[in-house]
Structure 1
Amino acid sequence: MKNKWKVWFFVVSGVIMAEILVVVVLFIALQTPGSDFKEPEPVEHGEPIFTIDANKQELEQLINQEVSASNKQSNLTYQIHINDDAKITGKLNVLSANIPFEMTFAPTVKDGNVLLKEKSVKLGVLKLPPSEVLKFINKGTDLPEWVHIDDDKEQIYINLTQLKIKDRFYLQAEAIDLANNQIQFNVFHE
């Protein structure tokens, strides 16, 4: 009987120590300096070749197709859900543990690019400030070069002019009005 209690004591102690270790590692990882991202100057393109009008469902499907390809090569897997706001849900692999997260953003257009201003955030069961979660994701993942996280301002900047389509075309956001289900992009030739 004594041996069972000893075994359970060490098992429970080990689980508690593992949880403390994960929290300490997360805390240390979050203590890096803030982002040094500076928004690029607006780019003048002339007249667009054509304009794309989309709705929330079409945009969500298009984004998730692109995201599914990048999920295979990263420790971050996620999906986009677009309703009256943009929601990113997924899992972040840290120390062989998948930590679920959910972030909600208000999208706006700024100089033809998309700015996602953070509204709410959840990272597993930890209650962390939004800027710290963004800092952690920014430092712990490989994001495309056209996606910039500005953890100080609690926002994600999507620089569409850096996103080349077939090495000849690029997009510029014209309008994002999720409340009225209207999304518009201009397409430019390089």
Structure 2
Amino acid sequence: MGRWEPNARGRLEQAALELYVERGYAQTTVAEIAARAGLTERTFFRHFADKREVLFGGAGTLQELMTGAVADAPEPASPIDAVAAALQTAGAMFQERREAVLRRQSVIAANPELQERELIKLATLGSALAEALRRRGVTDPAASLAAESGVAVLRIAFEQWIGDTGQAELPQLMRASLEELRALTSALR
């Protein structure tokens, strides 16, 4: 593949993931990723700040997708229902990319540094969802509680999904986790 071919970012992401799985994250260099993609290190750094960000470059897209779903939820939707709409949108996106998501997650699970970055990403997502709810007129603590609950549902359903043999789809697991949360909170009344 020549340097002039399109989708440099996608090629770098694919090359990095292949190398991380084959050799390990810590043992893979930016030079090796660029070479595997048929690009230069300079091109790599035009797209990513460091080799860690190859795995997290989609965080902004996920955040935009989910906050957009909150904003687009029907006006009478409760805060948790607006978050549920965001979860379903994200779940469908992850489901479509299951194999790549599973490979990415295996790299993250093997590296504490990457696990830390994943937690930061989830915290940032929670803050963005809370802000999207506030823009809908939801006040705190309801906006923060609904957003953080949604992130917890996402994380728990995602962990079930990656541990599953492919029988359950992520949106289905998210709905089930959300219903479990609703059952728990209604029992508190």
Shorter-chain TM-score bucket reads: under 0.3
TM-score, length basis structure 1: 0.25
Q: TM-score, normalised by structure 2?
A: 0.25
Q: Specify which structure has the bigger relative contact order, considering alpha-carbon pairs within 8 angstroms and separated by 6 or more residues.
A: 1
Query: Which structure features the higher share of helix residues?
Result: 2
Return the structure number with greater strand share.
Answer: 1
